[in-house]
Homo-oligomer: A and B are copies of this chain.
C-alpha cells in the first residue's frame, strides 16, 4: 500500500531510465553507421553464430532473443533480403522453419563483433569496477527472476531441450 518513491529512490530510478534509453541507442548507432545493421540484427547473428551449423529454429531464436514470433519473421525477411541469413526447411518437424547464417552474414559478424564489444567495454564494462559489474549482473538476475514468470504467456518459451547460452 506504500505508494510513490522516496526522493533518493526516484533519483536512482530516473538515472537508470536514462541509461536504459541511451545505451542501446549508442550501441545501435555504431552498428548502423559502420555496418548497416540494427542492434537487434546483431543479436540475431550472434545467436546463430553460437549455434551448431550456425542455424536455429525460428522459435528457438525468438526465445533466445526475447522476440515475438511475428517480429522475428519480419526481421528474418529483412536479413534474408540483405543476404545475411537464409531459411531452410526443418526435417524433424514440417511445421518448423530454420534460419541459417550465410557466409556473408558470418563475415559481417566477424568484422562487427570486435567493434561492438569494444563499444560495450568503452561505455559499460570498463566504466565500472569489477564489483559494480558483478552487482549489476546480480541485480539483473534478481529482476529477471521476478519478471520472467509473469511474462511466460507473453514471451516465446524455448520449445525443445537445448543448452542455454
The 9 closest A-B pairs by CB, nearest first: A12-B137, A15-B140, A19-B140, A16-B140, A19-B143, A21-B66, A15-B137, A135-B135, A127-B146
For residue A6, which residue of chain B has the nearest CB? Answer: B125
- A23 close to chain B: CB less than 8 A: yes
Interface mask (A140-165 → B, CB under 8 Å = 1, otherwise 0) = 11111011101100100000000001
Q: Which B residues are CB-close (under 8 A) to A138?
A: 132
What residues on B are CB-neighbors of A154 within 8 Å? 29
Contact of A110 with B by CB under 8 A: no
Asked if residues A5 and B117 are in contact (CB atoms below 8 Å), the reply is yes
A2 to B121, CA, bound (A): 10
The answer to whether A92 has its CB under 8 Å from any CB of chain B is no
Given B18, B123, B132, B150, which contacts A66 in the complex, CB threshold below 8 Å? B18
B144 near A114 (CB under 8 angstroms)? no
20 further interface pairs, Cβ-Cβ under 8 Å (given A22-B148, A123-B147): A3-B114, A4-B114, A13-B120, A15-B137, A16-B124, A16-B136, A16-B140, A18-B66, A18-B144, A19-B143, A22-B143, A22-B147, A23-B147, A29-B154, A132-B138, A132-B142, A135-B135, A135-B139, A136-B136, A136-B139
How many chain A residues touch the partner (CB < 8 A)? 53
Determine whether A88 belongs to the interface, using a CB cutoff of 8 Å to chain B.
Answer: no
CA–CA, A13 and B29, complex, Å: 19
| B16→A150 contact, CB < 8 A | no
* A18, B140: Cβ atoms closer than 8 Å: yes
